[in-house]
Amino acid sequence: MPASTVLAAPVLATTGVDWSQVHAVKLLGVALGGLILLWAIRRMFGGK
């Protein structure tokens, strides 16, 4: 198994995590990051 695969495998995999919740939190983070990025770009160009 390549080292990158080992590093990419979450430590939580052995603790019985509900992966649907993990993916929901990831999507929430991506959406929030996108909103902040849009806000920052609009602000940079003089928007409110």
Q: Would you place residue 24 in the very low, low, confident or very high pLDDT band (cuts 50, 70, 90)?
A: very high
Helix (H) or strand (E) run with residue 37 in it: helix 19-44
36 φ, ψ (degrees, to nearest 5): -65, -40
Q: What is the pLDDT of residue 14?
A: 60
Cα 48 to Cα 40: distance, rounded to the nearest angstrom: 10
Q: What per-residue confidence (pLDDT) applies to 4?
A: 47
Is the pTM for the entire model greater than 0.75? no
